[in-house]
Amino acid sequence: MSSVTGYESNPFGSVTTYFQIDDSWRSRTGRGISVAIIDSGIDVDHPELAGKVKESVIARADSKRVVFEPTDTGDSAGHGTACAGIISRIASDAELYSIKVLGAGGLGDGQSFLAGLEYAIKKRYRIINLSLGTTKPQFFSPLHDLLDRAYQAGCIVVAAANNLPQPSFPSVFSSSLISVSKSVETDPFHFGFKYGEIIELTAPGVNVRTAWPGGAYKSLTGNSFACPHIVAVIALILETNPALTPFQVKSALYALAAENEAEARHAEEGSR
């Protein structure tokens, strides 16, 4: 049983939050939890993903705006399928929604990225996987505004840190989302939390074997693949505790990570 405490802000000030999470979340499957994957699309016919992708849409420029329409074009780069495979392996019954904003080579434009995030927020998908970001400063403010809207809508946004030393948006907005970088850990439940750092959570992201378009599999390394590990864990927690706010989910992850670190220290001391 994990006890979680913290202070959550609201328009009238701050309130103390206290709740407990037992270990039953570890045996959940993410049933009933919607997960949006804003990426390069998903191969819906992959054996690990068949029947799990409830909707696939693609960004299309329409005059001066971006619209989304149903698509069966699959995955243009493999990146989205890889992320979906990681989530599905841990939270096998989570409902996946593909929002395709990246094309061949995993390339895309900032406006489609913004539009994809706005689309996911309007749909109120419970968790949003952002294994992508931008370093262009003109997107700082609009992304920040969208994250505020996501928080108010109850959407939990999880973003991967940039693989390069240069900060990327939105992962640096640690106050309004959950940011993740890779670790060499292999157990998805043994994630870490670096309180006070810009990128707070660490999760498996080195040589991660996951789905790849065409029924294939690949071993991949990068912060992109640490992000869906945390998304899947959140899906399990939310199935057990569906009323948790984004703030409470982040507090729960911190409490669970602290337990992981305490267990690791105990094991290390016992081996001396």
The catalytic site residues sit at 39, 79, 224
Helix (H) or strand (E) holding 18: strand 13-21
Residue 37 — φ and ψ, nearest 5°?
Answer: -115, 105
Structure token pair of residue 263: 């267990």
Place of tokens 């959407």: 155
User: Which of 102, 224, 207 lies closest to 163 in space, CA to CA?
Assistant: 224
Place of tokens 């948006």: 169
Residues 47 and 45: their CA atoms lie apart, in Å, by: 6
DSSP 8-class letter at 169:
B
Helix (H) or strand (E) holding 6: strand 2-10
Place of tokens 């899906």: 235
Residue 261 — φ and ψ, nearest 5°?
Answer: -65, -40
- Alpha-carbon 172 to chain mean position: 14
Note the residue count of the chain: 272
